[in-house]
Amino acid sequence: MDLDPEDVFKDEEDDLDNEFFQQSESSKEYVVYLVDASPKMFNTTCAGNDQKDETHFHTAVSCVAGSLKTQIISRSYDEVAICFFNTREKKNLQDLNGVFVFNVAEREHLDRPTARLIKEFDCIEESFMREIGSQYGIVPGSRENSLYNALWVAQALLRKGSIKTADKRILLFTNEDDPFGSLQDAAKKDMTRTTLQRAKDAQDLGISIELLPLSRPDSEFNVSTFYADLIGLDGEDLAQFMPSASQKLEDMKDQLRKRMFTKRVVRRIEFQIANRLSIELNTYALIRPTVPGAITWLDSVTNHPLKTERSLICEDTGALIQEPPKLFQPYRNENVKFLPEEIAEIKRISPGKLRLLGFKPLSCLKDYYNLRPSTFVYPSDQVKFSSNDTEVCFLNFFASSLLLILYTFIF
């Protein structure tokens, strides 16, 4: 690993062409927002903004709308589909009952979000009852299973593209923790089994199913009734899965925002504790200034994009310079010239890794020892964990060293 020491903590912030939110095509996601539209979603309310009660359906739809608006700016290569289930009307490729895929013109079902999608989705509630309608899809005495259908449709939508090049996710919004609760034993058992199998099939294809539950004011969403099996939670995970009782819109938005941020490792770096002992760490940029997205220059007459051509011109002769030029620093009445490689060599004072120099009490870390936002480090998967406490100390040390003088302590 031969890094420019300055690059060790260099991240998007320094890289003008690639701000954090400007994701590249290679890290894109395919997301299906799967929203329960059962009458229960309309009947149940929770406190929204301004103390006004909002329906759960409104909460879910607002969340999706908010998420789309972030996505279009920050992750515009992501492809999304919006799909309702427990609907009166049906619209999907498989022609399954109770599932309605919402879309707008000039757009495939699973496609990049467009301004038009956002605009029309923003007023979906006005036309929802008229055009799509709400209706329980799982009723006693019927073989219909709208949840099963919904998962199937979502999986079909995500058939596009390879799992190697994109993450595929289904985000499921519902306030029904027991979808088959109204059914009798045999039917219930059967439907539960087929639905779980459907979910498992999707997961086997690399699709992750995530649940965003809404709790009713009187009873909390009980994830273990049914969904724990569907999303594959058990033991400790189950205890940790805080449905976080999304009673409020803000909570839900928060939840979704957190989910939409996929962890991105800025850099993998070796942390050398002693001569023969080092662990591999991932670094994450948890706090970085957000800037408006990168701009594209356009021709104001035609609105066509422009490309930039950079050329180096000798000021003395006006000749074009092709090869990468030498650099110079005026010094002692003359120009001292450097090759670009020489500059790189000067900066390379040690191999790019973190080196433990020692520890200091936290009180040595003064408030004014700060230059840049901090970087979070976390051991990468393959290492055996060392000590808890030490780890914490290491992190502290690390933070201090980072904050002190960037180059001084690290490498």
Partner 1 sequence: MARNKEKLVLLLDVGPSMHGVLSEVEKLCSMLVEKKLIFSKYDELGVVVFGTEESNNDLTTEVGGYQNITVLQDIKVVDGDLVDTLQKLPRGTVDGDFLDAIVVGMDMLIKKYKDLHKGKKRLCLITNAIHPIKDPFEGSKEDQVMTIAEQMAAQGMKIESIVVRGRFSRDANKGVMDENDHLLSIFSKKTHTRTVYVDTPTSLLGALKTRRVTPVTVFRGHLELSPQMKIKVWVYKKTQEEKFPTLKKYSEKAPASNKLATHQVKVSYEYKSVDGSSNSVIPPEQRIKGYRYGPQVVPISTAEWDAVKFKPEKGIKVLGFTDASKIKRHCYMKDVYLFIAEPGNTRATLAVSAIARAMKEMNAVAILRCVWRQGQQNVVVGVLTPNISQNDKIPDSFYFNVLPFAEDVREYQFPSFNSFPASWQPNDQQQKAADELVQMLDLAPSGKEALLPEFTPNPVLERFYRHLELKAKQPDAAVPPLDETLKKIIEPDPELVAENKSVFDALHRHFELKQNPKLKKSSRQWYQEKQSGSNAHVSGGQAVNSIENQPPVKIEKIGDLTPVQDFEAMMSQRDNPEWVEKAIKELREKILALLIHPDGEDKYQKAVECVAALRKGCIIEQEPGPYNDLMHRIRQYCEEKGIKSLPQLLASRDLTLISKSEAEDSNVTAEEARSFFVKMEPKPDV
Of 202-261, which residues contact partner 1 (CB under 8 A)? 236, 240, 257-258, 261
In this complex, which beta carbon is closest to partner 1, that of residue 164 or of residue 310? 310
**Least spacing, CB of residue 61 vs partner 1, in Å:** 19
Among 208, 292, 221, 228, smallest CA distance to 251 is for 221
If one asks whether residue 326 binds partner 1 (CB under 8 A), the answer comes out as yes
Residues 175, 223: Cα–Cα separation, whole Å: 10
If one asks whether residue 350 binds partner 1 (CB under 8 A), the answer comes out as yes
Specify the stretch interacting with partner 1 by CB under 8 A; choose among 40-48, 97-105, 141-149, 342-350: 342-350
If one asks whether residue 385 binds partner 1 (CB under 8 A), the answer comes out as yes
Residues 67, 65: Cα–Cα separation, whole Å: 5
Specify the stretch interacting with partner 1 by CB under 8 A; choose among 84-92, 152-160, 215-223, 305-313: 305-313
Specify the stretch interacting with partner 1 by CB under 8 A; choose among 26-34, 139-147, 207-215, 387-395: 387-395
DSSP reduced 3-state for 293: coil
**Least spacing, CB of residue 131 vs partner 1, in Å:** 24
Number of residues that bind partner 1 (CB under 8 A): 119
Name 400's Cβ contacts closer than 8 Å, sequence gap at least 6.
360, 362, 364, 365, 369, 409
Long-range contacts of 122-128 (CB under 8 A, 24+ apart): 122/65, 124/61, 125/57, 125/58, 125/61, 128/37, 128/57
**Least spacing, CB of residue 154 vs partner 1, in Å:** 21
CB count in 10 Å sphere of residue 47:
13
In this complex, which beta carbon is closest to partner 1, that of residue 58 or of residue 259? 259
Site for partner 1 in 110-129 (CB under 8 A): 112-115
If one asks whether residue 49 binds partner 1 (CB under 8 A), the answer comes out as no
Residues 41, 214: Cα–Cα separation, whole Å: 9
**Least spacing, CB of residue 272 vs partner 1, in Å:** 9
CB count in 10 Å sphere of residue 260:
18
Rounded to 5 degrees, what are φ and ψ at 208? -95, 140
Residues 235, 165: Cα–Cα separation, whole Å: 31
* Near partner 1 by CB under 8 A: residue from 47, 73, 163, 238: 73
If one asks whether residue 325 binds partner 1 (CB under 8 A), the answer comes out as yes
